[in-house]
Structure formats: C-alpha cells, structure tokens
Amino acid sequence: MKKNQRLRQLSVAQRLALFLVLVLLPLVALSVVSVAVLNEQEAGFSESVEESVTMLLPLSTLEHYLQRALVDELEEQSGQSSPNFAALADTIDKTFASIESVDQGTAIAPEVGEAEQAWVSARPSVRRLIEQVRPLAPGQADAIADARARAELQAAIDEIATARRQLTAVVKARYLRAIAQRHQQLRWLVAGWALTLIAAALMAAALVRSLLRPIHELGRAARSMGEGVPGVRAPVTGSDELTLLAERFNEMAAYWEASRQSLLTEAAQDPLTGVLNRRGILAALEADLATHAREQAPLSLFMIDLDRFKAINDQFGHSAGDRALVWVATRLREMLREGDRLGRYGGDEFLMVLPRTTLAQAGEIAGRIEASLNEAAARESARPGASIGIGAAPEHGWAAAALMEAADRMLYAHKGQRRTDAGAGLRPTSAAG
C-alpha cells in the first residue's frame, strides 16, 4: 500500500519513464555483459584448442619421427631429409616453460612436473640422436642400427610417450577447468537474467497496479452512484492524473447529490408552506406503515381540514388565504413532536403522521391542536380554525388507504357534529371528544 501511494505521487508519464529506466538499463547492461562473456568463452575455446595443438604436436611429432627412425634406422641413403630434432626439442622446452608460468600453484601443477620430468629424462637421448644424425652419411647407416643406439632410441621413445600422455592429461585438466569456469559464468548469467526478469515483472506489476487500482475504484464508485447509493466518493491518493480525475469525480458526485436532493426536495415539498406536498406525505405514510407493521407498533394519522378558509379567501383575497395556509403550517410544525411528519394534502387539507402513537394518545393531541388553532381564529378573523379526523393502526388496519378513509369519516362526522352544535348554540367539541 505504501509503495503504491509513493508511486501515486508521480505522474503516469514519470512512472512509465522510471519503469523504462529501471528495466531497460539493467537489461541492456546484462545483454552487453552476456555478449562479452560469450565472446570471451568463444575466444577462450579457440585458444584452448590452439594451445592443445601447440602443446601436444611437438611431442607427438618427435615421437613419430623417433618411431620411424627406430623402424627404418634413419635410412638417409634413400635421399630423405633428416627431421629437425633440435627445433622440436626447443619447441617442447618452450612449451613446458609456458605451461609452468600459467599453471604454477594450480591443482594440475604436479602433473605438469611429471610430464616435464619425463621430457627431461628423454632429452639426453634425443640430443645424442641429434648429434648422431647431423654427421650421418650414406655409408654410416650401420652405426645407428647397433644395439646400443636402438636401446637409447627406444628409451627416448618411451620417455617421450610418457611425457605426451602426462601432458595430454594436463591439457585435459586445463580444458575441464576452463569448461567449469565457463559453466560457472553461464550459471551467473542465467541467475542474473532470472533476477532481472523477476525484478522487471515486479516493477511492471507495481506500475500496472498503480494505474489499474484507481481506475477500478473509480469504476466501483461510478457503478454505486449509478445505483443511487448516497455519499459515494472515490479515494483520493497521490498527485497524479488519476488523483485529479478522482477529485473531479468526487466534485461531480457531490454536485449530483446536491442537485438530486434539491430535485427530491422540490418534488416532495409544498412550495407555499414548506411542508411535504401530497406525494411526499403519502410516501412518508407508506414507509412508516411498513416499518410499524413489521414491528407491530402503533401509528396514527391526522386529516386536518381548515374551517372558514373559503370565507377568508372571499373576504380578504387569495393572498390572505395563502398567508393563512402558511400560518397554519407554521403552528402545526411548532406542535410536531420528533419523528412526526406534516404535509399539505391539497387545498386547505393537511395530513399529519404520528409514529408510535395509539388512538387514545392521538385523540388527546388532536384536541390540543384544534383548541390552539380555534382560539387564534376566534381572536383574528383572518385566521382559520381546524377540524381533525383520526385514523389509527392497528385499529383501522395497516393500509394507508384504510387509515385515510377512517380519518376522513371521523373528520366529516366531527364537522357535522360541530355544525349541529353551532346551530343549537352549544360550544364546539374537539375530535378527542
């Protein structure tokens, strides 16, 4: 998480550039090293082959010539030229000198010493052979063929063969050591490539995650907002382009929610009185009834009809009627308890929803509201009085229509009773009575 937040401090372009630098540079460097190592190994192999030929050829050539001399007793009378044994001997001396300078202190140094010792043992015989061959004349072939010369020649051949075999072992050991070093280099190269590719994969994963995660979060926020979930916000982390996009998305979501709430408020609010309109109060009634039905809790509904409202309109004008409606809504709101809901049902009728209120409690509250409004109406002719009908759950059922029908029946029965009482000169009674 912290690594992702640090990456989000860089712009997308900076992250891509950083990725290219951290991945491509090691890959380029490793490629250059690999090519250099492989070229070095190729050159080393060629040098090893050439060195093997250089080291073994003089001994093998000398052994071959001595073998031939043993067979044909250096028949110079045939007109063939004598081998240059002196040059071969010098070449072999130089070979051992070069081997000693390279392999001194290594594991194959004893084998080099044994091969050189075998050559040192054979060299006197070869030198005598050289001295005998130089003055050789066609008529002196019988001097080389005597038993002593043949014995020395055979001894020299054996010593040189021993030196050749041991030198061959030296060459093989050096070759195997070079092969092991090359294998070790190749293993290091493979390990370097593996680590570099793993590091590149991890960096690529971190880069992709830093790019895709905010996009996924924006997508989830957009889906939630589309489903109508309130308060949806995209996480804002870092300072890159995606962070800027998240900030703009959050601003857009806040504006959308404010606009939506404003529209909902306008759609559910009566523009004159500021209380819920017909749609809003009926929706609130349905929602409260559903909740109270699940909990089997009581609920009451007031249907409030204003008295003398038409007379106020006719006598004082429609603006006075509007002021009367606003005054009634204000007085009713003042008498609302926490959780009660008030709405204008239409014209001069209001609905009031009283959650967790029994029918008996509703009758007492309705009596107080009627008394308050009617006392004010008695003092000012531009103030209307009110009559209230009550519907209650569970007494009248759990359907909104049933409660409204019950409240409507009670309201008009109550208004009829008040007209009868007024005609008889009696004091009006409240809905609770």
DSSP string, 189-211: HHHHHHHHHHHHHHHHHHHHHHH
Q: Which two tokens stand for residue 160?
A: 């040189």
Q: Give residue-wise pLDDT tens across range 112-152.
A: 566 666 667 666 766 665 555 444 444 444 544 456 666 76
348 is catalytic: yes
Q: What is the pLDDT of residue 62?
A: 62
* CATH code, domain carrying 412: 3.30.70.270
Crossing angle of the two packed helices 109-133 and 12-72, in degrees rounded to 10: 40
If asked whether residues 163 and 272 sit together in one domain, one would say no
Domain boundary pick from 185, 206, 227: 206
Domain boundary pick from 157, 186, 206: 206
If asked whether residues 197 and 324 sit together in one domain, one would say no
Q: Of 10-14, 340-344, 378-382, 413-417, which range is least confident?
A: 10-14
Number of domains the chain contains: 2
If asked whether residues 284 and 379 sit together in one domain, one would say yes
If asked whether residues 307 and 411 sit together in one domain, one would say yes
Residue 252, in any domain of the structure = no
**Active-site residue, selected from the candidate residues 103, 305, 307, 348:** 348
Distances (CA, A) of 281 to 154, 268, 288, 344, 345: 129, 8, 10, 8, 8
Q: What is the mean pLDDT of residues 391-416?
A: 92
Q: Which two tokens stand for residue 114?
A: 């044994």
Q: What pTM does this model have? A: 0.46
83 preceded by a cis bond (ω within 30 of 0): no
**CA–CA gap between residue 68 and residue 93 (Å, rounded):** 22
Q: If pLDDT is split at 50, 70 and 90, which confidence band does 196 have? A: confident
**CA–CA gap between residue 229 and residue 231 (Å, rounded):** 7
Q: Of 122-136, 169-183, 185-199, 346-360, which range is least confident?
A: 122-136
The boundaries of the domain holding residue 50 are 2-206
**CA–CA gap between residue 403 and residue 406 (Å, rounded):** 5
Q: Which two tokens stand for residue 130?
A: 């050289």
Q: If pLDDT is split at 50, 70 and 90, which confidence band does 259 have? A: confident
Residue 294, in any domain of the structure = yes
Residue 18, in any domain of the structure = yes
3-state secondary structure of 228: coil
Q: Which two tokens stand for residue 334?
A: 């003042």
Residue 131, in any domain of the structure = yes
Residue 243, in any domain of the structure = no
Q: Give residue-wise pLDDT tens across range 26-63.
A: 778 778 888 887 787 777 767 666 666 666 666 676 66
If asked whether residues 288 and 201 sit together in one domain, one would say no
If asked whether residues 190 and 274 sit together in one domain, one would say no
Q: Give residue-wise pLDDT tens across range 337-370.
A: 888 999 999 889 999 999 999 999 999 999 999 9
